[in-house]
């Protein structure tokens, strides 16, 4: 046997509203019909229309407005008391008031429906962009260590294939593979924490040590590209207070961008300077390259998602870096590098506890 579903709570409330509306209209009609022409009770139909504006749809409001006007006219022709001329004027004024109120209620309902549709579209777009952004971010973050693992793996094969095998060089390549594998594992763990809404693992750490570790992992790629690197790491820096895994990822992103920029210029210009320093209560890392530099006015745009100057770039690395740095209480910025190239820098807070690098 086919069963009928019970009406929901919303439909019950809607039914009660409609019953109240019918009752109110019936009462107003009876009073308007039973009183003299001079008493303009029908103007109170406007209250019913306003009360039902959030209950009825557009078509229902139009039908209600027309019904109220029709009942006003019907009451005028049925009523036999008072001054008919005054009643005619009252009827016209009431009809006009009902018509204007109904029009305004319909306009409001139309605007509300349009706003609801726009909100629904924005929510769909936001969800799609969130998924795209998350997928793109994970792919971008993992691309660096995975590419480095492949490069080191090939290098290890070449060292092992020599006669006699260069076991020392092969061992160094394996160390780089293990380091990059740890970085990839750290990235996956960080993405997992972010997806779970977990806060960053903030703790005091030696800023220069994290910089040196990333530089060591990037040495092979710098040598392959013929980049002359100079590191000026300030001595005696206090401990930094941030998530060291996230900060390492920012350093790696800035180094990768610098190396990609230097690959576009002639060999003599392929110079890279890494600098650390303390500015008040912040530790700063500066990466200055001699590449083609940034377009005019692009110093802020480069940190926007999906904005890039690279032909094959996707424009998420720097936006991710900014999110990481700001989440750790720091700032990131870009500036021109004289006589050519660009400088990317970021800061992290100094740990309250005393410590030296």
Q: Can you tell me the distance from the alpha carbon of 134 to that of 303, in angstroms, rounded to the nearest whole number?
A: 17
Q: Can you tell me the distance from the alpha carbon of 149 to that of 292, in angstroms, rounded to the nearest whole number?
A: 28
- What mean pLDDT is reported for the chain? 80
Could you identify the residue written with the tokens 């300077």? 273
Contacts of residue 185, Cβ cutoff 8 Å, sequence gap at least 6: none
- Half-sphere exposure of residue 350, counting CA atoms within 13 Å on the CB side? 18
Residue 135: per-residue pLDDT: 61
CATH architecture for segment(s) 203-349: 2-Layer Sandwich (3.30)
Structure tokens belonging to residue 182: 């740890």
Q: Can you tell me the distance from the alpha carbon of 64 to that of 21, in angstroms, rounded to the nearest whole number?
A: 10
Q: Can you tell me the distance from the alpha carbon of 149 to that of 143, in angstroms, rounded to the nearest whole number?
A: 10
List the chain domain ranges.
7-119, 125-195, 203-349
- State the SS3 of the chain: CCCCCCCCHHHHHHHHHHHHHHHHHHHHHHHHHHCCCCCCHHHHHHHHHHHCCCCCCHHHHHHHHHHHHHHHHHHHHHCCCCCHHHHHHHHHHHHHHHHHHHHHHHHHHHHHHHHHHHHHHHHHHHHHHHHHHHHHHHHHHHHHHHHHHHHHHHHHHHHHHCCCCCHHHHHHHHHHHHHHHHHHHHHHHHHHHHHCCCCCCCEEECHHHHHHHHHHHHHHHHHHHCCEEEEEECCCCCCEEECHHHHHHHHHHHHHHHHHHHCCCCHHHCEEEEEEEEECCEEEEEEEECCCCCCCCCCCHHHCCCCCCCCCCCCCHHHHHHHHHHHCCCCEEEEECCCCCEEEEEEEEECCCCCCC
Cis peptide before 339 (omega within 30 of 0): yes
Average pLDDT, stretch 89-104?
Answer: 89
Residue 5: per-residue pLDDT: 43
Residue 4: per-residue pLDDT: 41
- Half-sphere exposure of residue 34, counting CA atoms within 13 Å on the CB side? 6
pLDDT level of residue 200 (50, 70, 90 thresholds) = low
pLDDT level of residue 292 (50, 70, 90 thresholds) = confident
pLDDT tens-place string over residues 126-138 = 445 545 555 665 6
Pick 314 or 308 by higher pLDDT: 308
Average pLDDT, stretch 312-341?
Answer: 80
Average pLDDT, stretch 171-184?
Answer: 83
Structure tokens belonging to residue 272: 């890279």
Rounded to an integer, what is the distance from CA 217 to the centroid of its chain? 32
pLDDT tens-place string over residues 40-73 = 888 899 888 888 887 788 888 889 999 999 999 9
Cβ-contact 245, 188 below 8 angstroms: no
Contacts of residue 131, Cβ cutoff 8 Å, sequence gap at least 6: none
Strands 282-289 and 271-279: antiparallel
Q: Can you tell me the distance from the alpha carbon of 123 to that of 20, in angstroms, rounded to the nearest whole number?
A: 35
Burial 88-117 (b: 16+ CB within 10 A, else e): eebbeebbebbbebbeebbeebeeeeeeee
For the chain, the distance separating the N- and C-terminal CA atoms, rounded to the nearest angstrom, is: 80
Rg (CA), the chain: 36
pLDDT tens-place string over residues 215-266 = 877 777 788 788 899 999 999 999 999 988 788 888 988 888 888 888 888 8
Strands 240-242 and 203-205: antiparallel
Structure tokens belonging to residue 58: 């557009």
């Amino acid at each position: 046997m086919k069963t009928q579903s019970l009406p929901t709570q919303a439909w019950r409330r809607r039914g009660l509203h409609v019953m109240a509306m019918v009752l109110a209209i019936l009462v107003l009609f009876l009073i308007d019909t039973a009183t003299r022409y001079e008493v303009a009770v029908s103007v109170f139909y406007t209250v019913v229309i306003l009360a039902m504006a959030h209950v009825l749809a557009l078509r229902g409001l139009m039908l209600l407005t027309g019904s109220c006007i029709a009942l006003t006219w019907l009451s005028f022709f049925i009523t036999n008391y008072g001054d008919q001329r005054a009643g005619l004027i009252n009827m016209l004024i009431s009809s006009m008031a009902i018509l204007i109120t109904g029009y305004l209620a319909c306009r409001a309902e139309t605007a509300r429906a349009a706003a609801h549709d726009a909100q629904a579209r924005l929510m769909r777009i936001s969800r799609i962009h969130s998924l795209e952004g998350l997928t793109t971010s994970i792919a971008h973050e993992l691309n660096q260590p995975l590419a480095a693992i492949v490069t080191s793996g090939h290098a290890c094969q070449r060292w092992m294939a020599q006669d006699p095998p260069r076991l020392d060089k092969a061992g160094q390549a394996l160390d780089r593979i293990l380091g990059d594998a740890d970085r990839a594992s750290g990235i996956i763990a960080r993405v997992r924490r972010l997806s779970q809404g977990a806060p960053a693992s903030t703790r005091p750490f030696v800023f220069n040590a994290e910089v040196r570790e990333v530089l060591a992992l990037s040495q092979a790629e710098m040598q392959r590209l013929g980049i002359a690197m100079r590191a000026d790491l300030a001595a005696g820096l206090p401990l930094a207070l941030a998530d060291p895994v996230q900060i390492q990822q920012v350093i790696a992103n800035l180094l990768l961008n610098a190396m990609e920029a230097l690959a576009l210029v002639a060999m003599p210009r392929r110079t890279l300077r890494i600098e650390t320093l303390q500015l008040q209560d912040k530790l700063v890392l500066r990466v200055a390259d001699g590449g083609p530099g940034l377009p005019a006015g692009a110093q802020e745009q480069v940190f926007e998602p999906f904005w890039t100057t690279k032909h094959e770039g996707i424009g998420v690395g720097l936006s991710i870096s900014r999110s990481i740095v700001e989440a750790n209480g720091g700032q990131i910025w870009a500036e021109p590098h004289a006589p050519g190239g660009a400088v990317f820098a970021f800061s992290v807070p100094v740990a309250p506890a005393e410590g030296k690098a």
